Amino acid sequence: MQQVFNVDQPDYGHLFDDMEVVDGKIRADSMLLPRVEAEITFHLKSALTSAPFTVEKVLDATDYVVASLEIVAAA
Quick: pLDDT tens for 27-66.
778 788 888 889 898 999 999 988 898 999 999 999 999 9
pLDDT band for 1, please (50, 70, 90 cuts): low
- Report whether pLDDT(6) > 90: no
The helix/strand/coil state of 2 is coil
Q: What pLDDT shows up at residue 65?
A: 95
The domain limits of the chain are 30-74
Is pTM beyond 0.95 here?
A: no
Give the pLDDT mean for 7-16: 78
- CB of 75 within 8 A of CB of 44? no
